[in-house]
Each structure stands twice: as C-alpha cells, then as structure tokens.
Structure 1
Amino acid sequence: MKFVICLTELAGFTSYTGGVGRRYAATIPELARQGHDVTVVLVADSAIVSAPAEIDGVTVVVNTDLVRLPWRLRSLPRVLLFRRILSRIEAENVYVPEWLGSCSFAPRNVNLVTNLVASLGLITEIAGPDAVARRSALKSWLDRFQIWCEDRQIRRSMAVIACSSAILDWNSKRFAGKLPDGRVVANCINVERASGIARTAQVPHLWPTGPGPVVVFAGRVQLIKGIDVAMSAFRDVAAQFEDARFVIAGGEGDTTIDPSLEQLQSELDPSLRDRTVFLGQIDEESLYACMREATVVVCPSRWEAFGNIALEVRASGGVLIATTGSGFSESCDDMVDSLLVEPGNPEALAAAIIRVVSDATLRARLLEDGRRRVDDFTASTTAARLSLQLESIWN
C-alpha cells in the first residue's frame, strides 16, 4: 500500500519533538518493513538537526519555510504549504495527526485519514475559561483558527484513527454523531531504544544528590499536565519526608494560559525552594536517565489522549503514578503496573507518592510488571494494527 504521512515534528529530524514526533519516528520504519510504500512530508515547526532524504527505506520530503516565521503566524502558511506539497507529489492516500489541522486544505482528490492525538479544542476545554480569558486578542483569534482547521480536517477525513478510546469518545461527543468512521490503534514507543538509552544515559548536572527519595514530575509545565497538582502534592510529601527532593523535568507550555518556570519558582513554598530542581526542557537521554534514577515519576495530567510518557517511564525503568479517566487507562492498570489517582486531586497524588516511597516491595513489583507490560506497545505491534486499519479504510 502506498501512502503519505504528514508531520510537523519527527524525532531525529526536528530540534523539538514531543510524544507525537517520537512515536511516528518509531512507527514509520516498521510500516516500511511490513511492505508499505511510505513517504513522509515534514513541514518542520522547529529547526532541523538532520535531514536525510530517506530513513530506513522511507522517503522524507523536508520543508523548513515555517521556521523563518514567528510561530504565532504559521497557521495559514502551514496549511497552504501542505496543500502545495501534496499536490506536487500527487499524493493519493494521506495519514496525518489532527494537531494543527495541517491537512485541512488538502487537495480534494486526497483520501484523508486523521490520527486523533490531541487537538487544541480539547486542550482549551481542559484549561478552562479562566485560562482562555488570559489570552491576548491575537492569540485568541489564532487559536480559534487552529481549532477551525483541526475540525475541518477531521470532517474532511474518510475515517479517523484514535490513539485511545478516551479521545475517540471525546471527539464523538464534540462532533455530535457526525464524526467520520472511528477506529482505535494504541500509541507505541521504540521500547528497545528507550530501554537502551536509559541504561547508559547520564542524569543532568542539576540532579539532586543525597540519600533521600527523589520525585520527578515528567511533562511540560502545563495545567493540563497537572503541574499545579504536583506542586501542591510535593508540599505534603515534603512534610512526610524531610530528605525528599523534587525534580520538574519539562519545558514551559503556553505561558498565556500556563505558569512559566519563573512564576513557579517565585511562587514556590519557602520550605521547598532548596529541595526543588527545575530542569526545563531536556533532551531525550537526560529525561530517560531522570526516570530511571527517580524513586517515583508522577504524571498527574488532568487529561491525556493516550500518554506516551507512561510507556517511556516504564521502559526507562521508572515507577509510575498517573491519573484515571483518560488515555492513561489504555496502557496502565492500577496496582498492577502503576498507581492511578483521580486527576486534579493533590491529596490523592501525595498519598500515592508517600505509599510508593514507603514501600520498597510495592516499588519493585510495579517496576517489574510495568516493564513487562510495556512490551505490548512496541512499534512493530502498533504498525501491524495500523496497517490493517488503513488497508480496510483505503481499500
């Protein structure tokens, strides 16, 4: 089967990549190995660190025009760039995430399938009206345009493939029964690669030293990721363990709606200032090393479409606390491979942290079961499931 994958980030190519860029980097070579003729169109949203013409037999078409523009002004040029490139290469079947609505103006002859991963509409809903009200007039207009593009792309699609049942259900409600044919194919990571990196990677030089437990918050500093919940829980944990230290491993989100690192530091409880380290955005190797060395890693998201980070924590050799009610449930079983707590509840998160820190037997069991379960979410397994669904749709 011949098809095109459209992206704005890709691990190994773009200087910034989140879970989407790492997941596609793991899946794309597997699709080629399974016999598909895949072309990647990468309209980069950050600087290019490497740009080979192909990777593992997959042709990669790279465009860097957006990097020259202020990021706030990229929405319209982005959709026009993708339309132009898809027309030039005469794309027929296209698979693309809904984030940014990159293919909302794809040529009419394109058979579009959208991957539901995390739309701005969803993020805005979770952030709430107070956060939205803090946006400038320009930012508010640009966000509405992005949401319109994402919705247009979804409506324009032949079908949607969701990374979890949770995000498929959310979109079904949003589109009030008019969502295209929906399927679920769980996310994946390159498990072997993540485990290999974690075994040898070095922690950042700011990593705390000493014998006490280290609690790591892994994720961008965003309200949707529960950074405020984590900071509140840390206070209760600090009162229980005098030698506990806390590490924030993630860069800033959108500071018009999320707290900046500087704001978090300035508002930090005085009793925590000498016990909390803000690493900011760190590279993949450093992140995996932090997960490996942590006593426990917390991902207290208010909502996750899937939560690739849950797989990365366990592949790295970390013990995970995540949240109920969204995409984490696709790959996590409470008290089996992780602990799951109610989102937005700092008391529940603190109690779970204290429980894990206090119980070495529980930590060892969660670590063992977590690492074994993550093998269900390898790139080859996900690529095979994705292939079946795409073939079913396009044939």
Structure 2
Amino acid sequence: MVDRAPAVSMTGRERWLVAATELAGVTAYTGGIGSHYAALLPALQRSGADVDLVLFSDSDQVGDPEDDAIRLRRYVRTDGMSRTAALGRCAQVVREVFGERRYARVFLPEWRALGSALPSRAPLLTNLATGMRLVHEVSGLELGDLPHETRLAAAVQMSLEERQIRRSAGLIAISSAMQARVTAMFGPLPPARVVRNCVDIAAIRAAAVSAGLPSGWPPRNSPASPIVLFLGRAERRKGVVDAISAFGRLWRRLPSAHLVLAGAGGDARFEPRRADLLSLLPEDARRNVTWLGHVRGPELSAAIAASDVAMTPSRWEGFGNVALEVKAIGTPLVATSGSGFDDFCADGVDCLLVPPADPAALADALWRAVNDPAASRSRADVALRQVQEYAPDPVAADLRRAADDLLGPATED
C-alpha cells in the first residue's frame, strides 16, 4: 500500500527526501559532499525534519546512517550498468520513492541528475555542489577531449543535470562563487540562496587525536623534516599538477621536506599519470613523495593533524570541505583564492591564500608556513575559533530557513 502520510506531521515535523551518491559511513567512497551530508542529515532531524534517504553506489553498503531516525529507503548498486543506464535508473528510483509518500522538501545535489525525472510539482531544492559541465570547465576539457566511448554518457549527464537545475523549485548553492558560476554557465535560473557546507567538528577533532595514521604514512626523520599534505582527488582541477610543481620548488629550498598526497584516483579523463607528475620533480625529490590514495574519515583527520601544513590548491572549488576540516583540526592551511574558499578563508588571518594555477606562489606560501611556525600557529588558532559557525546544527537551521524562503513554509497536503 502506498503511504499517503502528510508532508508535515501533527507535531509539525517536515518530511524531507534526500538522495546522493555518497554518504560517510554508509558508502565505500566518501568525498566532500558525502561528509557534509553525513553531518547535515542528523542535524536536520534534530531541527524538526524527518529524513528519508536514497543512496546510489557502485559498491556494497558499508554501514548504516549514524542517526537511527534517518530512514534509508533505498540503497541501489549501479556497478555493472553503463553510465547512461545508471543515470536513468537513479532518476527513476528517486521518482518512485517520491511517489510513495508526500514530502515537504526534496533535497538533491545536481551531480548525476538524480532529480531529473521528478514531476514538475515536486518541491525540489537542488544543492548546487558540482555538476559534470563544471568539472569539465575547471579541468579545461571539451567533450572531444574525452575517450570516444565516454562522450555520449558525459553529454547525457550534462543535459540531465541542467534539466534538473532548471526544473527545480529553488536552488541551494554551497557558496557565493558556486551560485555565480552556475548562473554564468546557464543564464537565468530558479531562485537561489547560499547555504554553506558543514562538517562534524567534534568527531573530526576527536579522530585527529585518537585515530591511527593511514597505512604508508612516512616516518618523520627529524623535527626539521616537515610533512606537506595535499588533500583532494588527484585531478588537474584539484591542483595536483600545481602541488607537485610547488613541492619541487620547496624541496630545492628544503630537501628534508616530504610531500604526502591523500585523495582518490583512477579516472583517466581528469587525472595526469603518476609518472608524468613525478617527472616534474628533480629525481632526488621523488623519493620524498608518498601517495596514499583515498583515505577514509578518521585516518584522514589523523593525517591532517600529523602534517606541518595542508594544502588544497584547487584551480576552482565550489566550497572545499576538506579545507574546513583542516581548520577544525588546527593544522596550518594553504588554499587558493577566487572560488568557494573565499567564503570562509581570509589570507593572512586564518590561512594563506594564493592564486590558482600558480606553483611559484604556492611554493612560497608553503615555505612561509613551515619556515615561520609561530605565524602559522597564530593563523591556525584564529581558524579554530571561527570554525564553530560551520558545525551541523547552525547550518541545518540556515538550510531550513532558506527552504522556507524559497518554497514557503511547509504545510500539510
């Protein structure tokens, strides 16, 4: 029997339908949005919104949602499907779940166009985080640059993501830079509001002191051997080429420095080969580079805490959750200006900001961070005092206010 319960209960609690392709603690892979949603959804529950969840993944479920009140309606494996078939399947499942009961809000990222098949009456709020067209723009890629067999799927995904955005009742951008960028790409859009991302600050800080370091973490040979941590997928858009080039410059000034790269890889469309990256370094510097690959939550927090400086040198970033995690832990941060970091980073105050795609400036900032630890500590202390604004509960409250502003107060159907 189809559940026709109202979108708002007798106690005034709203029903939200949320779908995503990753969620920390539940899916095997977790990036920024997966960590953000894992912190946000329990906070939505605490604020008075009942959450139904749909997840799509190419691997088995690894756990259950942290909050028992979050109802996991579907967990759908998409491995074994073609990219285009997976797009259709995901959108259809979301439509099916939406039709099973009434929802006051449907909250979906634009990635993979999970809401592209929803009826026009759906109270859809699209979370502007990262779409396929934006990934290609930031990576400097055209469809013709992709392997021939992937072009159709990429074109379909871009088209469906744009359809979802345009059919939304409202848009929630993760930063002012994201809102401006999507408007520049697509022109006039549904009404939008900016609501920042959040991280579970308490859990991150606890893991930083209690979790073990990732396998392969390099030994610190001496206090004068600083560890520089790169955070992000090993993609051009995340600045991995700039990071390697900058480290080569730093190593020439400080041969004891060690570079550790923490981030997933494996997508040749966007990533340079590891051999090509290493070729950017002096031969003697290459042995001072450690590749960890994808590092999951608690171990990543421990890695950040064990580093002398962490860098997030994205060529453009919608928000940059991992930079927020660095600030929450208290490790000195170097990031790039001109995108989402600008919403929560101030150069010389709580971090160092450099222009994107500028290895020389990045190297100088890394040198400043390790050569003047007192100044670095001062900036990190400022970051620690400011980061509470990005805890889950205040962000969830702002999201619900933005939803009411865009859609009107939730009412029973």
Same-fold call, TM cutoff 0.5: yes
**Residue matched to 1:28:** 41
Query: How many residues were matched structurally?
Result: 392
Aligned to 1:74, the other structure's residue is in SS state helix
Q: Does residue 150 in structure 1 map to residue 130 in structure 2?
A: no
Deviations 1:252-310 (A, max 9, x none): 15212312445535665412221111111122222111111111101100000011011
State the AA in 2 paired with 1:96: L
Deviations 1:184-204 (A, max 9, x none): 111110111111111112222
**CA separation in 2, counterparts of 1:101 and 1:147?**
8
**Mapped contact 2:15–2:103 kept (Cα < 8 A):** no
| 285-294 or 338-347, larger mean C-alpha shift | 285-294
Q: Does residue 60 in structure 1 map to residue 41 in structure 2?
A: no
Q: Does residue 79 in structure 1 map to residue 108 in structure 2?
A: no
2:387 to 374, 390, 393: 374
**Mapped contact 2:126–2:172 kept (Cα < 8 A):** yes
Give runs of ≥4 in structure 1 deviating > 6 Å. none
1:286 to 289, 295, 299: 299
Provide the alpha-carbon RMSD of the alignment. 1.8
Unpaired runs of 5+ residues, structure 1, are none
State the AA in 2 paired with 1:150: E
**CA separation in 2, counterparts of 1:288 and 1:260?**
27
Q: CA deviation at 1:69?
A: 2.9
2:22 to 9, 27, 30: 9
**CA separation in 2, counterparts of 1:384 and 1:307?**
21
Q: Structure 2 length normalisation: TM-score?
A: 0.90
Aligned to 2:62, the other structure's residue is in SS state coil
| 108-117 or 296-305, larger mean C-alpha shift | 108-117
**CA separation in 2, counterparts of 1:122 and 1:335?**
29
**Mapped contact 1:86–1:107 kept (Cα < 8 A):** no
Q: CA deviation at 1:206?
A: 1.9
Residue 385 and residue 17 in structure 1: after superposition, are their counterparts in 2 closer, same or farther (change >3 A)? same
Q: Does residue 168 in structure 1 map to residue 176 in structure 2?
A: no
Aligned to 2:207, the other structure's residue is in SS state helix
**Residue matched to 2:406:** 393
Residue 106 and residue 260 in structure 1: after superposition, are their counterparts in 2 closer, same or farther (change >3 A)? farther
Aligned to 2:53, the other structure's residue is in SS state strand
Aligned to 2:269, the other structure's residue is in SS state coil
**Mapped contact 1:219–1:249 kept (Cα < 8 A):** yes
Aligned to 2:52, the other structure's residue is in SS state strand
Q: Structure 1 length normalisation: TM-score?
A: 0.94
**CA separation in 1, counterparts of 2:215 and 2:108?**
38
Q: CA deviation at 1:348?
A: 0.1
| 84-93 or 374-383, larger mean C-alpha shift | 84-93
Matching of residues 88-167 of structure 1 within 5 Å: 88-91=100-103, 93-129=105-141, 132-167=143-178
Unpaired runs of 5+ residues, structure 2, are 1-13, 409-413
**Mapped contact 1:9–1:45 kept (Cα < 8 A):** no
Q: Does residue 320 in structure 1 map to residue 333 in structure 2?
A: yes
Aligned to 2:124, the other structure's residue is in SS state strand
Q: CA deviation at 1:87?
A: 1.9
**Mapped contact 2:198–2:321 kept (Cα < 8 A):** yes
**Mapped contact 2:260–2:292 kept (Cα < 8 A):** yes
**Mapped contact 1:198–1:317 kept (Cα < 8 A):** no
Deviations 1:334-369 (A, max 9, x none): 111100000000000000011111102112102211
Residue 46 and residue 107 in structure 1: after superposition, are their counterparts in 2 closer, same or farther (change >3 A)? farther
**Residue matched to 1:235:** 248
**Residue matched to 1:302:** 315
| 268-277 or 147-156, larger mean C-alpha shift | 268-277
Residue 303 and residue 4 in structure 1: after superposition, are their counterparts in 2 closer, same or farther (change >3 A)? same
State the AA in 2 paired with 1:278: W
State the AA in 2 paired with 1:336: V
**Mapped contact 1:92–1:109 kept (Cα < 8 A):** no
**CA separation in 2, counterparts of 1:3 and 1:283?**
27
**Residue matched to 2:411:** none
**CA separation in 2, counterparts of 1:189 and 1:88?**
31
Could you tell me the percent identity over the aligned residues?
35
**Residue matched to 1:220:** 233
1:197 to 207, 210, 213: 207
**CA separation in 2, counterparts of 1:138 and 1:91?**
38
Aligned to 2:192, the other structure's residue is in SS state strand
**Mapped contact 2:116–2:163 kept (Cα < 8 A):** yes
**Residue matched to 1:206:** 216
State the AA in 1 paired with 2:283: P
**Mapped contact 2:318–2:339 kept (Cα < 8 A):** yes
Aligned to 1:278, the other structure's residue is in SS state strand
